[in-house]
Amino acid sequence: MEKHFVLDTNVLIHNPQSIYSFADNIVIIPITVIEELDGFKSSADKKGMHARQVLREIDSLIKKGALKKGAKMINGGTLILYVNVKDLGLPLDLDTDLHDNRILGVAWKLQVEGNKVYFVSKDVNVRIKAEAIGISAVDYENQKVEYGKLYRGWKKMSVSRHDVAKLQKGVPLVVPEKSFLSNEYALVQAEDEPGYDAIGKYSDEEKSIVAVEQKCCAMGISPLNVEQRFAFDLLLDDRIKLVALVGQAGTGKTLMAIAAALLKTIGENSIYEKLLIVRPIVPLGKDIGYLPGSKEKKLNYWMQPIFDNLEFIMKRSISSKTNGVSTSDLTVDNMMKSDIIEVEALTYIRGRSIPNQFLIVDEAQNLTPHEIKTIISRAGEGTKIVLTGDPDQIDNPYLDANSNGLSYTVDRLKAYPIFGSMLLSKSERSELASVAVEAL
């Protein structure tokens, strides 16, 4: 018996290609969903962009068959546009003037007619209503990963003291085949001598663990623990084009990313023309539109954590006089006026090609897998991208630790040589901040 999957609007907004995720079954799109997409299409944000993509995809399928009867899709499935949303016969006196209930009503009517129906939605409240009236309701899980088992980016290994000593001297340490992923780090400890260790990174070329320098800094910022040391190595390795730094507040992910980016943009051996830092606008509480002032002033409120990090790094760099950086014009204002640094909302970089830049995407946990893919595909020749975020702190109501784009990217790209990831577990902020993260 074929399965009927009735899709809520938020599923299509989450992933415009989601209609192809249900194998050779029947995908139902209620006309109410089309109306909602039509209402979103003029918006300049991600909702508008995804709505336009979905509508174009559906339009292309119209040419292959009448959607009311069913159009065949490339994956073998059938797409049906369900037009009759009157007289749905919903139980519990659910108000059919509400869009959610009309969409739910389509699933109800199909089930009453004897079909095997699943209602697919990212909205937990609507899924609860569906279950309450006897409809099987599921989250859209095609791009979900298990965050609790997310790739850490490093692990410990015990060897002889002799092997530790060799690694400290720069001699690669041969390890069993497939025991490490590309760019995975190792804390190599002596079996019989606690505290005697070395750090290294797995090299695909060497097929072994190669030494990583113990000391490192960028713009006066130095690592405070072994995870941060590994993260700095990823950030400063020009061969690695995409880096993900995952961790709770206070682990230093954004600060380290900006420090490394500045070094690579204005340092003595700089290789990038510009530092571009973007954040998705998913405010905690009221929307950015409630803030006073012009667009630029509104964005400054939302981007303030980035400016705070930039100012802190500038002061540290000037006081430490490191990395061969000229400090005469080393101010945030000067570098932004010179177009060396650009801080922007993610919405306003859509459609741009980004060549020869160091791109930092902050708060990446608030992006869908599709959005992350879109950003990465914008990278031009010579660009490095760093994703930072905390999957435990998501403001997007339709994402969670398992379905967000940051977790998904780490899981899917962890074995690729041009990718590196580090899960940062230790907060280096105040004791009070650490307690807040752990206990509240």
CATH of the domain at 9: 3.40.50.1010
pLDDT at 285: 44
Count of all residues that appear for the chain in the document: 440
At residue 296, does pLDDT exceed 70?
Answer: no
Residue 65 falls within a domain, yes or no?
Answer: yes
- pLDDT tens by residue, 77-97: 999 999 876 677 777 678 878
What confidence category does residue 244 fall into, taking pLDDT thresholds of 50, 70 and 90?
very high
- Would residue 172 count as lying in a domain? no
* End residue of a domain, out of 138, 160, 183: 138
CATH number for position 394: 3.40.50.300
Query: Quick one: average pLDDT of 157-176?
Result: 94
Q: Among residues 138, 165, 193, which one ends one of the domains?
A: 138
Instruction: Look at residue 145 and tell me if it is in a domain.
Output: no
Q: Residue 344: what pLDDT?
A: 86
Pair (78, 220) in one structural domain:
no
In a domain, 192, yes or no: no
Same domain, 132 and 226: no
Residues 128 and 247 in one domain: no
Q: Sorting pLDDT into bands at 50, 70 and 90, what band is 67? A: confident
Same domain, 421 and 318: yes
* pLDDT at res. 284: 46
Out of 33-42, 163-172, 393-402, 422-431, least confident range: 422-431
Burial label for 185, CB within 10 Å (0-12, 13-18, 19+), is buried
pLDDT at site 156: 95
Of 81, 105, 138, at which residue does a domain stop? 138
Q: Range of 70's domain?
A: 3-138
Q: What is the pLDDT of residue 221?
A: 92
* Domain-embedded: residue 153: no
184 in a domain, yes or no?
A: no
Indicate whether 226 and 336 sit together in one domain.
yes
| Predicted confidence (pLDDT) per residue in 184-203, tens digit | 999 999 998 888 999 999 99
Q: Into how many domains does the chain fold?
A: 2
Return phi, psi of residue 187, to 5°: -95, 105
Residues 297 and 428 in one domain: yes
Q: Are residues 369 and 255 in the same domain?
A: yes
Give dist(CA 70, CA 62) in Å, integer.
9
* Domain assignment present for 339: yes
